[in-house]
């Protein structure tokens, strides 16, 4: 990014968190000129630049100190933290605020016809997921020997395709599970969107002052919506 004096904020370019994150920035008085195809958007009234990327990239951008702040779902944040920790990469961050959108749960679901008597029914089985680190941590905590099979998409069809015995995926209404003949069994993680800050050293005084000026406005917006 061109000017390191400007506060850099990473947001999801296009997806479930994009609109609410942009709406929050606007609600706290940040004017943005967003052009659809561009990676970077500059604020016209604050020393702030937005980096618009895939949500998967946001934890790493914050943890590597490439951006100062980021909006991200806790599910993705925690998964990437575990992955980076295992790989010996920087994995630290600070949560500034838990937000009021992006709510979902990461759950284990099994085919309707499966005889399921608790998590021990998955002993020795394969479970398809996009969140292998969160799932394997859960198996470990529960003392279960099961295998997380990584799939980037179409997780809900894995049992029918014979790729796995069960799945572990994000759920909000449950309609996707139902449409695929699956039943939600164990919630392993509850998630919302959060605003995070890099923790790899202090921000410059100007940036810190700006963040400290913006946070009460975020609180005001969250409170007004309660």
Q: Are the C-beta atoms of 120 and 93 separated by less than 8 Å?
A: no
Q: Which does 176 bind (CB under 5 to 8 A by kind): ligand PRT, Zn ion, none?
A: ligand PRT
Q: Minimal distance in Å, beta carbon 74 to ligand PRT?
A: 7
And the tokens for 201? 């050293």
Q: Cβ-closest residue to ligand PRT?
A: 73
By CB under 6 A, tell whether 78 contacts ligand PRT: no
12 or 43: CB nearest Zn ion: 12
Q: Binding to Zn ion (CB under 5 A): which residues in 7-66?
A: 55-56
Rounded CA-CA distance 119/188 in Å is 11
The per-residue DSSP string of the chain comes to ---TTSEEEEEESSSTTHHHHHHHHHHTT--B---TT-SEEEBSSSSEEEEEE-GGGHHHHHHTTSSSEEEEEHHHHHHHHHHHHHTT----EEEEEE-SS--EEEEEEEETTS---SGGGGTT-EEEES-HHHHHHHHHHHT---EEEE-SS-GGGTTTTTS-SEEEEEESSSHHHHHTTEEEEEEEEEE-EEEEEE-SSPPPHHHHHHHHHHHHHHHHHHHHH-
Q: Which stretch binds ligand PRT (CB under 6 A): 32-40, 72-80, 119-127, 133-141?
A: 72-80
56 versus 100: smaller Cβ distance to Zn ion: 56
Q: Is 83 near Zn ion (CB under 5 A)?
A: no
| From 75, 107, 129, 180, residue interacting with ligand PRT (rule: CB under 6 A) | 75
Binding to ligand PRT (CB under 6 A): which residues in 41-70? Answer: 54-56
Among residues 46 and 75, whose Cβ is nearest to ligand PRT?
75
- Name which of 146 and 170 has its Cβ closer to ligand PRT: 170
Footprint (CB under 5 A) of Zn ion, residues 171-190: none
Pick one of 21, 107, 180, 191: the residue that binds ligand PRT (CB under 6 A). 191
Residues interacting with ligand PRT, by CB under 6 A?
Answer: 12, 15-17, 54-56, 73, 75-76, 102, 104, 169-176, 191
């Amino acid at each position: 990014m061109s000017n390191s004096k400007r506060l850099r904020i990473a947001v999801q370019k296009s997806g479930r968190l994009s609109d609410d994150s942009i709406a929050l920035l606007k609600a706290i008085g940040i004017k943005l000129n967003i052009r659809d195809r561009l990676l970077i958007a500059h604020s016209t009234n604050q020393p702030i630049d937005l980096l618009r990327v895939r949500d998967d990239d946001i934890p790493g951008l914050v943890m590597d100190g490439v951006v100062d702040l980021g909006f991200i779902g806790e599910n993705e944040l925690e998964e990437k933290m575990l992955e980076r920790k295992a790989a010996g990469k920087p994995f630290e961050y600070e949560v500034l605020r838990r937000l009021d959108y992006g709510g979902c749960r990461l759950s284990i679901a099994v085919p309707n016809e499966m005889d399921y008597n608790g998590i021990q029914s998955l002993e020795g089985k394969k479970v398809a997921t996009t969140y292998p680190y969160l799932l394997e941590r859960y198996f470990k905590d529960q003392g279960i020997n099961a295998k997380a099979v990584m799939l980037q998409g179409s997780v809900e069809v894995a049992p029918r395709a014979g790729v796995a015995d069960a799945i572990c995926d994000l759920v909000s209404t449950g309609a996707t599970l139902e449409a695929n003949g699956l039943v939600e069994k164990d919630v392993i993680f509850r998630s919302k969107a959060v605003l995070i800050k890099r923790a790899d050293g202090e921000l410059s005084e100007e940036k810190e002052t700006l963040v400290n000026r913006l946070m009460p406005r975020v609180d005001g917006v969250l409170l007004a919506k309660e």
